[in-house]
A and B are shown apart, each in its own frame.
Chain A
Amino acid sequence: MKDKSKNVYMVSGGVTKFAKATPEMDFRLRVKKAFDYAMDDINMPLSEIDGSVASYFSDHFQRQLMAGIMVQDYLGLTPKPSKRIEGGGATGGLAFQTGYEEIASGRMDTCAVFGFESMSHVNTWKGNEFIALASDTNFDYPVGGFYTGYYAMMAVRHMHEFGTTVEQLAKVSIKNHKNAKHNPYSQSPMDLTVDMVRNSPMVSYPLTRLDVCTMSDGAAVAILASEEKAFELTDHPVLIKSIGTGTDTMRLSDRPFGKVPLLPNEKESDYRDLKYPGIHSFRAGRTAAIEAYKGAGITDPLEELDVIELHDAYTSSEIQTYEDLGLCKYGEGGKFIEEGKSELNGKVAVNPSGGLLACGHPVGATGIMQSVFMFWQLQHTISKHFKDDYLQVNNAKRGLIHSHAGTGTYVTATVMEAV
């Protein structure tokens, strides 16, 4: 597919610091701040933007329909083309890929992808209800719809299948909150211990408060451009090398018990007795990885990726995602974190920003935030934007961003490269 399309670059990005509530700004102003940061960083005038993609998840949070066009309007981008993309937690990842497609198709030379969510308009438990409405409302939601509950059942099955431990889950939380200490955009930087994670209030067994990300207000913007335009706008664009997307059944109960779709570095004999995906793994994540790796020519992801920002809405899903992305074999995710392979100075830095666990998860902004942090990593400008170079991954040449919805219902994987 890629062969006939044009190269697409990211040329700038901006993020607002995510916070539990920011009533002094509405969603339009929040996006405007992230947008202006991105535009000012490369001195790009408004007239250079050809069109946009709006990324937000839920109309329930604000009870404002067509919020996407309101941002387009506020930014001064009317009457240029724009559309809204929605796909649960993966909304940002999907919107970013839509922006890529706008450029790759030759339709636009530049595209602003803006993401936002304003979750503070309702209390946390009402917010959880809105999120749970993104599960089948005939069979799943009425039973006690709660996303942490769904993920907890997946984690319990992962523990049963592979022997993953709650201490291993806690280590993900420790790593991401620790990384966040050097990210001024993060919301909850802190030093934790396994005991602190395990002793924080239980939300859904085995997931405690510190195994789960927080709902937030926030916005993020990525500016994408064609090859010709990218080098006109900046000396340091980042290539969006390939995109991959996978899907799975809405209901957890429908997930089949079949065979693992293999990556180039795996053999069928690795998984002789594994019934896949069941509810222990994310088939959509694996599907997205296969497509993205194929497009980027990656055959050994652990060796060929330097940095990853993945969707750690739950500590368990970070471990499951190591496996989906083929950083280790299925079942080895717990050991992968235990051995420090995903630490900042490990084999591959996973969520050096602190991820969703420490930055927060304003749904529509999240996937775009990941792209901005990745862009700065690959541009080697972390010190400029974070005012601290601690999190700059040495020699970061190639990275992957991963966005994830539902119980692994939509998953995107996008490979980006320094040029």
Chain B
Amino acid sequence: MTIDPNAKMPETQNGTEVYNTDPLTVKSHYEIDYIHSYAQDSEFFRALGKKKLMGSRCKKCGYKYATPRGHCMMCGAETEWFELPNEGKVHSFTTCYFGSEEFLPETPFNLVMVEFEGVDSLFMSRLIGASQEDIYVGMKVKAKFKRIQKFSPTDVYFVPAGDK
């Protein structure tokens, strides 16, 4: 046992960034790496590397999801994977001139909701190769896949399908 009334807490030289003194306002930094599992959605992300866009279909009622989900929202049954067509149509769109901090450097960018023939739900994606004035509801678009897979939903994106 050591009793030391002169004990001193060690100090470091890294300072605190102060924005304002009244009220006292300081910088507080926070950052974290998550171990994020795609779990039952994993197959969708793996398939993008094989240039395949996978949706899911209810084994019981047959409802088809362009954005896959493990279980059906209509009847609760399990779904199975199926490959979506490569071409679809713009169901709706926007061009973002501002955005969340993470995507701010990418602005302006187009977001589209894509509809596929015979599929019951939609798929959200980026559309490139067309500016805001060129995009319209009903426009034909086709899926393209990034060569370097990042295991992100942006491994797939859409471009105008052209006159076909």
Contact = CB atoms under 8 A, between A and B. Distances in A.
A125 B124 contact: no
Interface in A234-278: 249, 251-257
Contacts of A144: 96, 99-100, 103, 106, 109, 111, 126
Interface in A15-32: 23-24
Nearest to A136: B67
A202 B97 CA distance: 7
A149 B120 CA distance: 23
Contacts of B98: 125, 128, 146, 148, 201, 203-204
Given A253-B123, A254-B67, A142 B97 contact: no
Given A23-B23, A63-B30, A279 B96 contact: no
A86 interface: no
Contacts of B92: 153-154, 156-157, 160, 279
Instruction: Specify the main secondary structure of chain B where it touches its partner.
Output: mixed
A142 B92 CA distance: 18
Given A23-B25, A143-B124, A256-B120, A157 B91 contact: yes
23 contacts: A23-B20, A63-B28, A125-B104, A138-B153, A143-B124, A144-B96, A145-B102, A146-B96, A146-B111, A149-B111, A150-B111, A153-B112, A156-B137, A157-B113, A201-B98, A203-B96, A204-B111, A205-B97, A252-B113, A254-B67, A254-B69, A254-B122, A279-B92
A156 B28 contact: no
B82 interface: no
B95 interface: yes
Q: In this complex, which of B28, B97, B126 has the most chain A Cβ atoms within 10 angstroms of its Cβ? A: B97
A128 B124 contact: no
A145 B154 contact: no
A150 B100 CA distance: 12
Contacts of B111: 143-144, 146, 149-150, 152-153, 204
B66 interface: yes
B93 interface: yes
Contacts of A255: 121-122
A157 B113 CA distance: 10
Contacts of B14: none
Given A138-B153, A157-B92, 20 more contacts: A23-B20, A23-B23, A63-B28, A128-B101, A137-B36, A138-B38, A142-B154, A143-B125, A148-B96, A153-B92, A153-B112, A160-B137, A203-B97, A204-B96, A252-B113, A254-B67, A255-B122, A256-B121, A279-B113, A279-B122
Contacts of A105: none
A78 interface: no
Interface in A352-370: none
Contacts of B99: 125, 128, 144, 146, 149
A156 to B, nearest CB: 5
B41 interface: yes
B137 A157 contact: yes
Contacts of A383: none
Given A152-B94, A153-B111, A138 B41 contact: yes
Interface string B121-164: 11111100000100001000000000000001110000000000
A131 B103 CA distance: 13
Contacts of B28: 63
Closest 7 A/B residue pairs (Cβ): A152-B94, A129-B100, A125-B101, A157-B92, A253-B122, A253-B67, A153-B92
A188 to B, nearest CB: 18
A126 interface: yes
Contact of A139 (B23, B30, B153): B153
Nearest to B157: A143
